[in-house]
Each structure stands twice: as structure tokens, then as C-alpha cells.
Structure 1
Amino acid sequence: MSKGSKERSARARQIVAEQKAAERRRTVTLWTSVAVVLILFVAGLFGYTVLSGQDDGKVTTPSVAVDEGTAFATGTGPVTVDVYEDFICPTCRNFETATGPTLKRLASDGKITLRFHPVAILDDYSNGTQYSTRSAAASAAAAEEGKFIEFHDVLYANQPPEGSSGLSDAKMIELAATVGLTSDTFKNAVNEGTYKAWAAQATETFSQRGFNGTPTITVDGQVVTGPDKTVPNTALITETIEKAAG
């Protein structure tokens, strides 16, 4: 074989070898990419499943809650009055002080079903302690013990100002004891935040229903407001209830 032939043969073998090497690199790259995509897909699917399971596990809805698990009711009257409230909201306390006794009396007299919806829209007003969420969650724990109204009232009687750190868990437990709420079940629920995720979910439902401020009061599903969309007074609430009753 001539020298030129040998060189051409060697060059051909080199080209074939380079092509085979390039093909192997492409194959490795392709399968590596496929493997990465599969790993990411499986990891994402696993992560979604885990997170979904965690979310489902976190939300503990009080067994006594009504209206899609968002409220606590007293009375069984034909007219339904819903009060959406945040325990650090000063206007909510004013409404409770002025009109709360009348609503509770009407519920006791069998004229209305009164449903309280604790929500947490003012967490930013408690120095990062999430008092709105914690107090709503604590009220759910009280409801499970059959003491919602009593705990509700003592929270308002001791309402901290907006912009403060709110009441500590220990203080809420202390106040609960003054209205006969002393069980370990209640204390543990407050300390462990058992119903905090529920409070967040109830607040989300509040928002989905088109509400954005507290207190929001509805009578048979219709929002009741005073002049210029102010909080309704006792007379207007009573009149609206009487009209709804027919």
C-alpha cells in the first residue's frame, strides 16, 4: 500500500472513530436529559402529593362549626344573622357592645339563628404576633368545649389595641379560665395552634364571598349597612330582622 493510501485509510478510520464518539456523546446527553426530566417530574409529583397531604392534615375544622365550617351558631330562629368579626378590630368591639346583647337576646328568644364568623384580616396590626389568627383559633377551641359565646365576650372585654402585640396565648388561657374554660384540651389547642390553619381557611372563605372589612353583618344573606356604608346600628339591624321575618 502506498504511503498516500495508508494516510487516507488512517484518516478514514479517524473520521469513523470521531463520528462514533460524537454519536455516543449525543446518546449519553439525550438519556441524561431524559433522566433529569423524569427525576424532576417524579420529585415534583412527590412534592405536590406531600404538600397536599400536609395542607389537608393541617386544617382541623371544629366539629361544631356551621356554614361550611366557618361559623359558630347560637339560637335556631327562622332568620339567620351572620356576624363576621376580627377580635382586634375596635369597630367590631363597638358593634358587639352596642348590638351584641340584642342579637343574643333575639337568638335566645328563638327569633334568629345567630352565627359568628371569626376571621383574621388584621394580623398586620399586632406586631407580628398574628393575634387575629391566634384569637380566632382560640375561639374555635372554645367552641369545641361549648364555650364560644363566653370566650368571645371575654376577648372583647379585654381587647388589646390595634398596633399592640395582642394578648399572649397564656393570657387568653387565663381569661378563658374566668368563664369556666379550663380543660387541658382547650389549653393544648391554644398552645399548639390547632385551629390556626382553620382560621386562615375561614378568612379565605370570607374573602371569596366578596367581603373585605369587619364587622360585616348579613341578614338572611344580605349585607346590612348604615348610611354611607357605615356599620348598622341596633335599630337598623332589628328593623331588618323584623322585615325578614315577615
Structure 2
Amino acid sequence: MSKGKRDRTLKARQVVEHQRSAERRRTVTIWTSVAVVVVLFIAGLVGYSLVTGEDKGTLSTPTVAVDEGTAFATGTGPVTVDVYEDFMCPSCNRFEQAAGATLKQLVADQKITLRFHPVAILDRFSNGTEYSTRAAAASAAAAQEGKFTEYHDVLYANQPAENSDGLDNAKLIELAKSVGLTSDTFANAVNEGTYKTWATQATEKFSERGFSGTPTITVNGKQVTGPDNTLPTAELVTQAVQQAAG
């Protein structure tokens, strides 16, 4: 074979090898791109799940809840009094001590429908135990069994201090027994967090309505406060009810 022919043959082989290498690189690039697309697609699904709340758990709304599933009502009076409260909120407890008896009397006199809205805005004050959420969820379980008011009262009578761990589930169940709430259904709801997602949603609705602090008290939808945005007294709430009744 002449030198010229050998050179042409060698060059032809180099061209073929170059084409083969280019094809291999193109194949790798294609599959790498496919892999990236798949990863991005999966990430998008995960992100969508997070945005749509699929990671929050199943929403179980108590069948007895009213006002878009956010509250528990007592009484059938013509004027509606709404109390938004957090079971770890010291101010909520002070309002309960100051005005709770008056509100119950207004219910008994058939002057008001009293609606309690448990919310959870103070989880950050329970050292990571989410006491506000757990207490609100437990109160929902109590409401489902017809014992909301009794359980509401015993939770305030045993309110833990802010920046403590709050009450554990065993204590929440023990307190329920003291007001005649002894069913396994209630205990399981507390231990399994059946209504925790509901508590979160009720809190979000509270915020959507333009409220940010507890307690928030409204009479026929109009917020009632004391001077300089202080807690309203029992007398102020009663006056607001009388005015709303006409």
C-alpha cells in the first residue's frame, strides 16, 4: 500500500471514530437531559403538594362546628357573640374570668348565641410542643362529643404558663375525664391529632378575617374592645349586646 493510500485510510478511520465519539456524546447528553427533566418534574410535584397543603394531614372538621366550620355555638339568642381565643393566651383567661359568667347568663336568658373559635397563634410559646394547636384540637374533639363548654372551662382552669411545654396529651385526656368525657373516641382523637389540621385551618380563617390577637370579641360582627384597645369588660360586652338587640 502506498503512503498516500495509507494516509487516506487513516484519515477515514479518524473521521469515523470522531463521528462515533460525537454520537456517544450526543446520546449521553440526551439521557442526561431526560434525567434532569424527570427530576424537575418530580420536584414540581412535591412542590405542588406542599403548596396545596397535602403535607398538612387529613382535614377532619367536627360535624357540630358552625360559621364555616370554625366555631362551636351555645345558645339560640338573636344576637351573635363570637369569642376568638387561644388556650395558652393569658389575656384570654383573664377575659374568661371577667366576662365568662356574664356570657353564660346571656345565653341562659336567650339573649345571645355564643360562638367560641379556638385558634392557635401561640405555638411558639410552648417549646415546640404545639400546645395551642393540640389544645384547640382537643376542644374540637370535646365539642364533637357535646362537651365543649365544660372542656373549655377546665382548660382555662388548668392553663399552663407561656414559655412552658404546655399540657401533654395524657393531661388533656385526664382533664376531660374530670368533666365526664371518658370515651376512647376522644382519647384517640387527642393522641392521634385528629383535629390538628382543623385547628390550623381555623387559625388561618381567623387571620383572613383581619384579626391578629386573642382574645378577639365581636357582637354581630362588630369588634368590641375596651379603652385604648384593652380587654372589654363584662359591662361593655353587655352594652354591645343590648345595642345590637335594639
1:106 maps to 106
- Give the conservation status (yes or no) of the 8 Å contact 2:62–2:69: yes
Measure, in 2, the Cα distance between the counterparts of 1:183 and 1:106: 31
Q: 1:191 matched to which residue of 2?
A: 191
Name which of structure 1's ranges 167-176 and 129-138 shifts more when overlaid on structure 2. Answer: 167-176
Cα gap change, 1:243 to 1:53, in 2 (>3 Å)? closer
What is the CA–CA distance in structure 2 between the aligned matches of 1:242 and 1:50, rounded to whole Å?
47
Deviation at 1:181, TM superposition (A): 1.0
Cα distance, 1:92 vs structure 2: 0.5
Structure 1 residue ranges, 4+ long, deviating more than 6 angstroms after superposition:
none
Q: Is the 8 A contact 2:80 2:220 kept in 1?
A: yes
Q: Which amino acid aligns with 1:21?
A: S
- Following superposition, the deviation at residue 32 of structure 1 comes to 3.2
Contact 2:81/2:220, CA 8 A, preserved across alignment:
yes
Between the two proteins, what is the percent identity of the paired residues? 71
Displacement of 1:58: 2.1
Indicate the larger mover: 236-245 or 122-131: 122-131
Aligned length: 246
Instruction: For 2:71, give the aligned amino acid.
Output: A
Question: What are the ranges of 5 or more consecutive residues in structure 2 without an aligned counterpart?
Answer: none
Report which stretch shifted further, 12-21 or 68-77: 12-21
Aligned to 2:7: 7
Q: Secondary structure at 2:142's aligned position in 1? A: helix
Which secondary structure state, in structure 2, belongs to the residue aligned with residue 110 of structure 1? coil
**1-structure distance, mates of 2:167, 2:56:** 29
Preserved contact between residue 49 and residue 55 of structure 2 (Cα < 8 Å): no
User: Post-superposition shift, 1:210?
Assistant: 1.7
Q: Report the counterpart of residue 208 of structure 2 in structure 1.
A: 208
Matched to 2:26, the amino acid is R
Alignment of 1:160-239 (within 5 A): 160-239=160-239
Distance 1:161 1:56 in 2: 27
Query: In structure 2, what is the Cα distance between the partners aligned to 1:195 and 1:88?
Result: 17
Please list, as runs of the form range in 1=range in 2, the aligned pairs for 1:141-160 lying within 5 A after superposition: 141-160=141-160
Question: Within the alignment, does 1:120 sit opposite 2:127 as a pair?
Answer: no
Aligned residue in 2 for 1:76: 76
RMSD over equivalenced CA pairs, Å: 2.3
Q: 1:46 to 1:132 in 2, by over 3 A?
A: closer
Seen in structure 2, the aligned counterparts of structure 1 residues 49 and 132 have a Cα distance that, compared at 3 Å, is closer
In structure 1, distance between residues paired with 2:137 and 2:57:
16
- Alignment partners' CA distance in 1, 2:18 and 2:225: 82
Tell me which moved more, 73-82 or 161-170. Answer: 161-170
**Secondary structure at 1:141 match in 2:** helix
Unpaired segments of 5 or more residues in structure 1?
none
One-letter code aligned to 2:84: Y
Counterpart check, 1:27 vs 2:27:
yes
| 3-state SS in 1 of match to 2:21 | helix
Distance 2:43 2:200 in 1: 28
* More moved, 80-89 vs 45-54: 45-54
- Distance across 2 between alignment mates of 1:222 and 1:172: 33
Taking structure 2 as the reference length, the TM-score comes to 0.90
Alpha-carbon distance in 2 for matches of 1:24, 1:34: 15
| Counterpart AA for 1:90 | P
User: In the TM superposition, what whole-angstrom CA distance separates every residue of 1:50-82 from its partner, at most 9, and x where no partner exists?
Assistant: 996854752211111111111101112222111
